[in-house]
Amino acid sequence: MDISDWRKKIDDLDEQIVRLISQRAEAAQAIGDLKRASRLPVYEPGREQQVFDHVRAANPGPLAEGEMLHVYERIIDVMRSLQRREE
């Protein structure tokens, strides 16, 4: 494969990632609605640790554990903001 083939592959993967992040955001919104109805806090450090542990276990590389967790820290931060916006 040449560079244009790799770039096309990245574009295709980015489209998949966007769809998956959007689906994750929909789930986060639904959870935010349930939290509000139950008067639960948006920030749940125990649950976030579970997500990080799951991501760590699922990571096949080539990103190092810390790099993958950095990506997920940002995703979770954005999802938490989305849940707060709905309040």
Structural domain containing residue 66: 3-85
Tell me if residue 5 falls in helix, strand or coil: helix
30-72 pLDDT, tens digit per residue, is: 999 999 999 999 999 999 999 999 999 999 999 999 999 999 9
3-35 pLDDT, tens digit per residue, is: 999 999 999 999 999 999 999 999 999 999 999
The confidence score (pLDDT) of residue 85 equals 86
| pLDDT at position 2 over 60 | yes
| pLDDT at position 86 over 70 | no
The confidence score (pLDDT) of residue 7 equals 98
How would you class 28 by CB atoms within 10 Å of its CB: exposed for 0-12, middle for 13-18, buried for 19 or more? buried
Q: How many domains does the chain have?
A: 1
Neighbours of 32 (CB within 10 A): 20
Tokens 């244009």 found at: 4
